[in-house]
Amino acid sequence: MTPFSFGSSSHLEWHGTTILAVRKDGRVVIAGDGQVSQGPLKIKSTAKKVRRLGDGSVIGGFAGSTADALTLFERLEHKLEQYPGQLARACVELAKDWRSDKYLRRLEAMMAVADKTSSFILTGTGDVLEPEDGIIGIGSGGPYALAAARACIDSDLDAEGVARKAMNVAAGLCVYTNTHFTIESI
């Protein structure tokens, strides 16, 4: 076994991220950490995994393979052009393509996307999920950030404050999450 082989795998796997979406008081925020890890190595600490999409009225964050996620963001932007102002429809159409297209099926990423009225999780299994409480957590630190955001949502913090606090909790628990956050809001 080489120093960079782990378990039965003969290659390093890119691992971990934390993406959190918080909807509160008419605002929606998506936050992402900046760490990129390869096995036990921290490769980069300032990656931007959150961005505005389309005409800027949609924000999204990704967990998983960067190249795959950027491909999916590009595809979602095309769907948003086809269905302007219809995030749900664009997400469903992307999920159908992702699930049925031989090339897209191999892409390994998850996305959290939101506009002023809706938030969704998109997965390669064809899922388009809208959380009941407007909070999404994906990636290796997603469950920690999700739990912390749910605990803080009824506080006096605004959406960005809840997201920052929850992301800091996730960074304190998940070794694949750091405190260099990118935050976009609508």
Predicted confidence (pLDDT) per residue in 27-80, tens digit:
999 999 999 988 888 999 999 999 999 899 999 999 988 878 888 899 999 999
Within-domain flag for 6: no
Dihedrals phi, psi of 32, to nearest 5 degrees: -140, 145
Q: Residue 123: its pLDDT value, please?
A: 86
Domain enclosing residue 101, as ranges: 14-185
Q: Residue 111: its pLDDT value, please?
A: 94
**128-175 residue pLDDT tens:** 999 999 999 999 999 999 999 999 999 999 999 999 999 999 999 999
Average pLDDT over residues 176-181: 97
**86-120 residue pLDDT tens:** 999 999 999 988 877 766 667 778 899 999 999 99
pTM of the model: 0.90
Within-domain flag for 163: yes
Within-domain flag for 131: yes
* Total structural domains within the chain: 1
Cα separation values, 116 from 78, 85, 93, 152, Å = 19, 10, 20, 21
Within-domain flag for 74: yes
Q: Residue 126: its pLDDT value, please?
A: 81
Length of the chain: 186
H/E stretch holding 159: helix 159-173
Strand intervals (E) in the chain = 14-15, 19-24, 27-32, 36-38, 41-44, 50-53, 58-64, 109-114, 119-122, 128-129, 135-138, 182-185
Within-domain flag for 145: yes
Confidence bin at 125 (pLDDT 50/70/90): confident
Considering only 8-12, 15-19, 64-68, 121-125, which range has the smallest mean pLDDT? 8-12
Distance CA 164, CA 145 (A): 9
Within-domain flag for 3: no
Q: Residue 48: its pLDDT value, please?
A: 95
- Whether 176 contacts 140, CB under 8 Å: yes
CATH of the domain at 145: 3.60.20.10
Give which of 13, 19, 11, 75 is closest to 47, Cα–Cα.
Answer: 19
Within-domain flag for 95: yes
Distance CA 100, CA 97 (A): 5
Q: Which residues are catalytic?
A: 17
Within-domain flag for 8: no
